[in-house]
Structure 1
Amino acid sequence: MIAELTQALEAARVVNIIGPRQAGKTTLVRDIYKKGRFITLDNDATLTALENDPIGQLEALTQATDVPLIIDEAQRSKRLAMAIKVLVDARRRMGQFILTGSSNIFTHADVMDSLAGRVQTLPLRPLSAAEIYRAPPVTVLDWARHAENLGALPSPPPFTRSEVMNLVTRGGYPEIRPLGERARQKRYRAYIDSIVDRDVADILRVRKTDALRRLIDQLAVRTSQELNIQALCSNVGIQRPTAEQYCDVLERLSLTERLGAWASGEARRDVRHPKLHVLDTGICAALRNLGSDSFVADAHPAALGGLLESWVFSELRKNLPYQADTWRLWHWRGDRGRKVDILAESGRSLIAFEVKASATITPGDLKNLRWFMSEGPGRSWNTVGIILSLGDQPLSFGDRLFALPLSVFWAKGWKQG
């Protein structure tokens, strides 16, 4: 990430690092980057001074210095974006500001248009499995696009079911994941309370925070399912516009993501039936009071399936920037119960992923992917099918159809670039 930050500062006047609270943004810019002048808008006195005279304060802080001004928790200021616009229009030097925050302050249309080409946004998400295991980024999509056999696949490390359960239930927040289960779940629930009480308030005035908290609990239960707003409203006791507004805010805060439904024609892609993923499964497990013992070997796979699918989606999402090609992620559903959990698209290539919470692959597990690739909408595309499972060996079923262990997400032999 330091390399990306350095390159961005050489190419843009403002670098905007966004991601959920406690994902490591402040550590990155203050303790690792070790350059620039640092202020935080979590300090109420600093925030008040900046709101009263934003241009004057920024001019004083940046005068006679070539290092960037780092502004932490930038989303707390309502006037910061326009003040930065004035200053960077007057000064054409690259790398003037580094902003960090849980949401993007440059979302107002006028500011976005006037700062086009001047701001580079870098997302910072919780730790990936590769980062936890100190492995390189996972370029599985690049491998799959050209996959003819398993020869070019790095050797997936051996793992146990309990190791995967540990990864899924601990989540990726650096300060929280090392804690014991009880302390960790308590911290994650307190974290959500702080998001509702503080970060959401920076974006939207919420009259009934208890309703928002209930909605988040319901989304945790529904992770990896198609988002049914009407059922959500019924269970939470709110109106549809309110539910949609809350979902938008949670997505802006990088807590959830809606995954659109794919169709072979771009005009037919359906924004009305997205899947909803809670992006950190540690948070999701804590809100549902699920620990690693909730997924013992003889438990029904459905108890784990949705959580594991969201974990895989989040891992793919975190590794998208490291692929040689640009990919977009979708899900697909057809008639007769046919579906593809996650679909990655680049040009005329599709990678269709199914996630299985078991170690054994049966002929029935291959049915949807085979149909999608041979008779369904994937037949006219360059399509590869992959089942990700708790199995311990990569398998090829011919016709560009593979089963891979989940440990490919922390294998150490992936090629970069």
Structure 2
Amino acid sequence: MILPRHLSAELLDALSYSRVINIVGARQVGKTTLVRDILQHGRFISLDDDALLEAIEDDPWGQLQRLVGELKDGPLVIDEAQRSGKLSLAIKRIVDLGDQMGQFVLTGSSNIFTTLHVADSLAGRILTLKLWPMTVAETMSRGPSKILDWAISKSPDLNDLPAPETATRADYVDLVLSGGFPGIRDLDNRRRQKVYFDYVDTVVDRDVSDIVRIRKSDALRRLLDQLAIRTGSELNISLLCKLIGVQRNTVEQYLDVLIRLSLVVKLGAWTSGEARREIKNAKYHFADTGIAAALRNLTPRSFDPDADPKALGGLLESFVFSELLRSAPYQDNGFRFYHWRDQRGREVDILAESANDMAAIEVKASSSVSRQDFRHLEWFAGEGPGKTRKVTSIVFYFGEEKLGFGERRYALPVSCLWGATRK
């Protein structure tokens, strides 16, 4: 059964006002399935066909002219577009000749319109849509979460949120381990780990080469292992260089590639201008916790009470962040994401900023919550750099009660991330 994706409505709408729709997302995230399910007309080609890829590389302008000329209705859909280094300029030439909306739909694991010249010349005529792994709401055939809009509303009311769902710690652990990749998330843990390992091998051996040639694929795999251990943490690049055995510029290049392939997300540090007091290091999150958990060989038993009590912390933070990130395009307000930390150790796990409004978010892998858990959030909003903003403080936790801890301070079950859906 094909589960509906939240991006479907946006894709259909984009066909009416954009010349080129460019759908970017990690391998096996569901891009091809989405397009085939939504588009009833047009022509579908895939650059996985080596003969077709070779023909386009030899004569991109002529081949695209021929394919477009053969169209009777609908767009030309080009799957695995990132495999061609000459496609973007040829598409630009064709788009320059007409004014047809929805003429091209591209899918790929990386964005082919990254060169400054092509991006600038197609400004206003190309729309890039990001398809992430599935949110929990999507796996339940529910609408997008609206919790960020709720957080920055004039007077957030707990009664406006749906009743939290009953979920145990084991239920949350299962969601973290499963991840959101269609066709993988429903496998049992042993098979899922094997598939995710094979998935990473394919990305390293094939997708990376579509972006850049690397000489040390084993070093890239070691970097992925280290990122899985450190997901949700600030990175010490110098330490990574020693652990992996490569130079700093190589690590930075590899990080950039993993970001472009949508495997890793860089969460920048929010700064107020008090440069001497604030830490500016970025955090790095695995875009999907299922892959991170598999690379660490984690199983449900890894999170037993007598196991490592810190094993879940970073993964849960990445899980919450990924749910918020994936729901952001469907809010009525635009959001940018950051984290914040100062030199005294005060920190905010996730900051969601919309103009002068902010949601300051702490993630806690516990079924209980107290005012003490708000201490950094309270300082940030009341005495710290957030005091000039309208800040709503939220602690996500494993409990089942929605709780208020004073003005614009709330403790919410993690399940609110897929309960607060669009009406």
Q: Does 1:61 align with 2:60?
A: no
Q: Does 1:398 align with 2:419?
A: no
Residues 261 and 269, structure 1, Cα contact 8 Å, conserved in 2:
no
Alignment of 1:6-405 (within 5 A): 6-63=12-69, 64-146=71-153, 147-265=155-273, 272-405=280-413
Residues 267 and 282, structure 2, Cα contact 8 Å, conserved in 1:
yes
How far apart in 2 are the matches of 1:166 and 1:16?
A: 33
Residues 260 and 271, structure 1, Cα contact 8 Å, conserved in 2:
no
Deviation at 1:111, TM superposition (A): 0.5
295-304 or 31-40: which moved more?
Answer: 295-304
Deviation at 1:66, TM superposition (A): 3.0
Q: TM-score, normalised by structure 2?
A: 0.95
SS of structure 1 residue aligned to 2:285: strand
Q: TM-score, normalised by structure 1?
A: 0.96
| Aligned amino acid, residue 136 of structure 2 | A
Name the residue aligned to 2:3: none
| Aligned amino acid, residue 128 of structure 2 | T
134-143 or 11-20: which moved more?
Answer: 134-143
The 3 A distance-change label for structure 1 pair 269 and 111 is farther
Deviation at 1:270, TM superposition (A): 8.3
How far apart in 2 are the matches of 1:164 and 1:345?
A: 26
The 3 A distance-change label for structure 1 pair 148 and 171 is closer
| Aligned amino acid, residue 252 of structure 1 | R
| Aligned amino acid, residue 388 of structure 1 | F
Residues 15 and 102, structure 2, Cα contact 8 Å, conserved in 1:
yes
Deviation at 1:264, TM superposition (A): 2.6
363-372 or 336-345: which moved more?
Answer: 363-372
Residues 260 and 274, structure 1, Cα contact 8 Å, conserved in 2:
yes
Residues 235 and 282, structure 2, Cα contact 8 Å, conserved in 1:
yes
Q: How much is the aligned-residue C-alpha RMSD, in angstroms?
A: 1.7
Residues 335 and 352, structure 2, Cα contact 8 Å, conserved in 1:
yes
Deviation at 1:200, TM superposition (A): 0.4
SS of structure 2 residue aligned to 1:16: strand
Structure 1, unaligned runs of 5 or more: none
CA deviation string 1:195-238 (max 9, x = no partner): 00111000000111111111111111110110211111110000
How far apart in 1 are the matches of 2:216 and 2:348?
A: 37
Structure 2, unaligned runs of 5 or more: 1-6
Deviation at 1:46, TM superposition (A): 0.9
How far apart in 1 are the matches of 2:274 and 2:370?
A: 33
How far apart in 1 are the matches of 2:278 and 2:130?
A: 26
The 3 A distance-change label for structure 1 pair 84 and 270 is farther
Deviation at 1:33, TM superposition (A): 2.6
SS of structure 2 residue aligned to 1:383: strand
Deviation at 1:269, TM superposition (A): 12
Deviation at 1:271, TM superposition (A): 9.5
Aligned pairs, number: 415
The 3 A distance-change label for structure 1 pair 151 and 314 is same
The 3 A distance-change label for structure 1 pair 278 and 174 is same
How far apart in 2 are the matches of 1:268 and 1:329?
A: 22
Q: Does 1:4 align with 2:47?
A: no
SS of structure 1 residue aligned to 2:415: helix
Deviation at 1:158, TM superposition (A): 1.3
Deviation at 1:69, TM superposition (A): 0.6
How far apart in 2 are the matches of 1:69 and 1:410?
A: 35
266-275 or 347-356: which moved more?
Answer: 266-275
How far apart in 2 are the matches of 1:251 and 1:40?
A: 24
How far apart in 2 are the matches of 1:164 and 1:297?
A: 14
The 3 A distance-change label for structure 1 pair 328 and 20 is same
The 3 A distance-change label for structure 1 pair 72 and 33 is same
How far apart in 2 are the matches of 1:387 and 1:314?
A: 16
How far apart in 2 are the matches of 1:379 and 1:218?
A: 36
SS of structure 2 residue aligned to 1:151: helix
How far apart in 1 are the matches of 2:112 and 2:257?
A: 13
Deviation at 1:299, TM superposition (A): 4.2
SS of structure 2 residue aligned to 1:261: coil
CA deviation string 1:336-359 (max 9, x = no partner): 210000001111111100000011
SS of structure 2 residue aligned to 1:206: coil
Residues 301 and 358, structure 1, Cα contact 8 Å, conserved in 2:
no
Residues 41 and 73, structure 1, Cα contact 8 Å, conserved in 2:
yes
Residues 279 and 342, structure 2, Cα contact 8 Å, conserved in 1:
no
SS of structure 1 residue aligned to 2:281: strand
Deviation at 1:148, TM superposition (A): 4.0
The 3 A distance-change label for structure 1 pair 269 and 66 is farther
SS of structure 2 residue aligned to 1:273: coil
| Aligned amino acid, residue 38 of structure 1 | F
How far apart in 1 are the matches of 2:30 and 2:37?
A: 10
Calculate percent identity across the aligned residue pairs: 55
